[in-house]
Amino acid sequence: MSDGRSSNVVWHEGTVNRARREALNGHHSVCLWFTGLSGAGKSTVAHAVEERLHGLGCRTYVFDGDNVRHGLCGDLGFSREDRAENLRRIAEMVKLFLDAGVIALTAFISPFRADRERVRKIVGPDDFIEIYCRCPLEVCERRDVKGLYARARRGEIPEFTGISSPYEPPESPDLILDTAEQPLEECVEAVLGVLEARGVVARARPRIVRTRGAGA
């Protein structure tokens, strides 16, 4: 498998670097990597966390598993090799967003430990926060609004995680969210707590954007 590096190219370092961008933003950049089965609540939690961070005036972006396959990874399938390449591309994109001073939130099943470890190395271990959305398979199947589990059970979707392809839970994630039991707001608070503890953000009153209107 290629390491994704081009030959005969040299990284150009601009005068406006990550530290200056972070200083302008008023917070550090980091990668929040949400992993778990389909239907475990990864996207739901990631977007809810982004909403809270946005209210605090943070620069954020959510990389959603389905969304990136509409363009950046639209040429990839779901074989073991394609899954690995999908995550490699995302990791490289996240790394650029971190350099831009952005808090990157990712919602990917990312079922294999080796692939997640590869992402950690690309992004950088100090910038990688692994969040395991733990949820029983039967609960994920009940939540299956897209009907993917039912199709996988019928053999219509090959190599579907949890049915015909394994999911390898993180052995030592930075945070575990029991999304079948914990309310969404509790999950969001737990993630924000990790960010505060690491000094990524300091929670304060939400920034109020004033617009012109009556009496302005």
- Does residue 12 sit within a domain? no
- Does residue 91 sit within a domain? yes
Query: Residue 202: what pLDDT?
Result: 84
Query: Residue 49: what pLDDT?
Result: 98
- Does residue 37 sit within a domain? yes
Helices (H), 124-205: 137-142, 148-153, 184-197
How far, in Å, CA of 37 to CA of 162, rounded? 7
Query: Residue 73: what pLDDT?
Result: 65
What letter does residue 126 receive in the DSSP assignment? G
- Does residue 11 sit within a domain? no
List the CATH number of the domain containing 100. Answer: 3.40.50.300
Query: Residue 212: what pLDDT?
Result: 45
Structural domain that includes position 183? 20-197
HSE of 71, CA atoms in CB hemisphere, 13 A:
5
pTM of the model: 0.85
14: alpha, beta or left? (left if phi > 0; alpha if psi -120 to 50):
beta
- Does residue 50 sit within a domain? yes
Which of 112, 106, 103 minimizes the C-alpha distance to 131? 106
- Does residue 8 sit within a domain? no
- Does residue 1 sit within a domain? no
* CB atoms near residue 139 (< 10 Å): 16
The count of structural domains within the chain is 1
How far, in Å, CA of 155 to CA of 164, rounded? 9
Active-site residue, selected from the candidate residues 38, 43, 110, 165: 110
Residues of the chain where predicted confidence (pLDDT) is lower than 50: 1, 205-216
2 counts as catalytic? no
- Does residue 28 sit within a domain? yes
- Contact between residue 102 and residue 57 where contact means Cβ atoms under 8 Å apart: no
What letter does residue 89 receive in the DSSP assignment? H
Query: Residue 67: what pLDDT?
Result: 67
Query: Residue 211: what pLDDT?
Result: 43
- Contact between residue 52 and residue 46 where contact means Cβ atoms under 8 Å apart: no
How far, in Å, CA of 97 to CA of 184, rounded? 26
